[in-house]
Amino acid sequence: MFSWGHIRHTLHCVVKGRSGVIKLVQASDILKQHSRFSSSMADKFKLPARYGTGEKSVWVEYIQLAAEYKPAVNLGQGFPDYPPPEHVTKALAEIATGDNPLLNQYTRGFGHPRLVQNLAKLYSPLIGRELDPFNEILVTSGAYEALFSAILGHVDAGDEVIVIEPFFDCYDYMITSAGGVPKFIALKPKCKSDNMTSADWVLDEQELASLFNSKTKMLILNTPHNPLGKVFTRSELEVIADLCKKHNVLCISDEVYEWMVYEPQKHIRIATLPGMWERTITVGSAGKTFSVTGWKTGWAYAPSNLMRNLQVVHQNCVYTCSTPIQEAVARSFEFELARYNSPECYLFSLARELLPKRDYLVKILKENGFNPTVPEGGYFIVADWTNLANKIDLSSEPDKYKDYQFTKKFAKEAGVLTIPPTAFYSEAHKSLGENYARFCFIKKDENLQLTEKLLKEWNAKKK
């Protein structure tokens, strides 16, 4: 292989050497070979076509943006900026330094026994059937890997997968990298008003039914929904379930925000609907459940015949997840299960803790010209910025979509970082997300108060 150092050295010999002509020829040959080699390398080692659309990531871009512009508040990515429950982090500290050295070594590939047993204990009563911890649950590297294993473990070349927009952006790439074909349908607001909630964003039933055909393998549901915060109602889930049953389609139910649901809404697991257990893979996340997103531990549960396919992908991809973290999540569930019926149980107190943050952010967004959709679940608010369009000059922002332009300019001018929702739409439907920005509210009260101050100052400058 020719490195630039090699070429530089040879050129150096050209100047110094006695038989200059020969060496000049050698140098130009080397340069030619180098450029031929570089272009053949570029050809041969380019990103495989199946990842073609996955090259651009809103997360990579906006984390970079945050590092560059250092906005005063970051309401972009979905994670808390305050500590998780003490018993959770204490468990991990004790495990790492405790007297069982094996807890720092590999554990069972499909899930640490203590964790799968606790997951079975937690979910069995919630889904109304006894979950088999060793055959019906898989522990994964975040919910992300559960989605990956479920999609790669079931989608074959040409299979169609129905995806509800806006959608958590990795679904699309996972489907296409498996050779599948995503078929998109967007949630749309029933009407536009100043008091919208996520319940106002609905699917057109006829349009949904028209997407099902003999090639449809799977539908991906996300409830509570990121980014809208929609909590699908029983009747909405029944429509989806009936179509899945009619067309013999699998449902992946991404329920990572299952514990963040605001009264009077209730989270309904589609796997509990009649005839749905057999065809549903439900995905959860310890990162979201215990406010430890950096732990990247998740799971999937489903009947054992479906789980087998996920296990095969998992065992040939990550094989086994971190033992101390699985042990800590297991102990955290034990702790919560022991106080399940008390108001302190974190599985229920989290939503109560988030509710005033949601209401405060909704209020300050409204006071400052945004039109937020009040979420019934999750910890994001999608807010329409159309009324602020005349206050912000986006002409200096080269991005293709207006929400990218707005969120970047807004971060630079107001110091508040948000996420552009078109990242959650397919190319054909991006216009549906262009007038919005996504705000995350699982943030310290002082940072939400700082957001209010920054919004007011920004607005005052624009008068």
Interface with ligand PLP (CB under 6 A): 78, 142-144, 168, 222, 226, 254, 256, 285, 287, 293, 296, 298
Q: How far is the CB of 267 from ligand PLP (least distance, A)?
A: 14
State in angstroms the smallest separation of the CB of 300 from ligand PLP: 11
Neighbouring residues of 379: CB distance < 8 A, sequence distance ≥ 6: 78, 257, 260, 354, 357, 358, 440, 441, 442
Chain position carrying tokens 């790669």: 152
Specify the residue, 78 or 415, whose C-beta has the smaller distance to ligand PLP: 78
* In the complex, least distance from residue 226 CB atom to ligand PLP, rounded to whole angstroms: 4
- Distance of alpha carbon 200 from alpha carbon 144, whole angstroms: 28
- Give the nearer residue to ligand PLP in terms of CB position, either 201 or 458: 201
- Which CB sits closer to ligand PLP, 10 or 140? 140
Sign of CA dihedral 364, 370, 375, 381: negative
Sign of CA dihedral 351, 354, 360, 364: negative
Report, in Å, the least distance between residue 45 CB and ligand PLP: 29
Q: Least Å distance between CB 229 and ligand PLP?
A: 11
Residues 82 and 80: their CA atoms lie apart, in Å, by 5
Nearer to ligand PLP among residue 171 and residue 458 (C-beta): 171
Minimum distance between the CB of residue 297 and ligand PLP, rounded to whole angstroms? 7
Compute the distance between CA of residue 7 and CA of residue 28 in angstroms, rounded to an integer: 9
Nearer to ligand PLP, 150 or 199 (CB): 150
The nearer residue to ligand PLP, 173 or 458, going by C-beta atoms, is 173
For 409, counting Cβ atoms within 10 Å of its Cβ (0-12 exposed, 13-18 middle, 19+ buried), the class is: middle
Q: Is the dihedral of CA 368, 374, 379, 381 positive or negative?
A: negative
Q: Per the structure block, which two tokens stand in for 116?
A: 């799968």
Smallest distance from ligand PLP to CB 438, Å? 11
Residues 268 and 272: their CA atoms lie apart, in Å, by 8
Nearest residue (beta carbon) to ligand PLP: 142
Name the residue nearer to ligand PLP (CB basis): 197 or 293: 293
